[in-house]
Amino acid sequence: SSGGKETLGRITRMGDQYLRHLLVIGMTSRVRRAKARPDQTDPWLTSLLERKSVRLATVAMANKTARIVWAVLTNGEPYRETRTA
C-alpha cells in the first residue's frame, strides 16, 4: 500500500504453476456463477466485472484469493470474512 491507496502486485509466475492454474479455474467458475445469479454475487465482484474484462477480473480475483490464503497460512488464524455494506 502507498499513501492510503492500495497498490497490489500481479499474480507472478514464480510460484507453483499448478496452484495458480487451480486458482484461476476456481475464479472462472465464480464469474460464471455471478453471471447466472447476480443477486447472490459479492458487490466487489459485480463492480469489478463492470469495470474490467472477464479474464482480467478472473486473474484479479485469483490474485486476491492467493493473498488471502497466504495471510491465513502465515498468521495461523482462521479466515474472517469482512463484508462491506
Which residue, 22, 21, 49, is CA-closest to 34?
Answer: 49
Whether this prediction's pTM lies above 0.75 is answered by: no
Among 10-19, 41-50, 73-82, which range has the highest average pLDDT? 41-50
pLDDT in tens, 52-75: 899 999 988 998 888 888 888 888
The pLDDT score that the predictor gives to residue 15 is: 72
pLDDT in tens, 19-59: 888 999 999 999 999 888 888 888 888 888 899 899 999 98
5: β partners: 2
The pLDDT score that the predictor gives to residue 2 is: 58
Residues contacting 41, CB < 8 A, separation 6+: 33, 34
Q: Which stretches of the chain are DSSP H helices?
A: 17-36, 43-51, 54-75
Q: Which three cell numbers stand for residue 54?
A: 472477464
The pLDDT score that the predictor gives to residue 13 is: 64
Task: Reduce the DSSP state of residue 7 to 3 states and report it.
Answer: coil
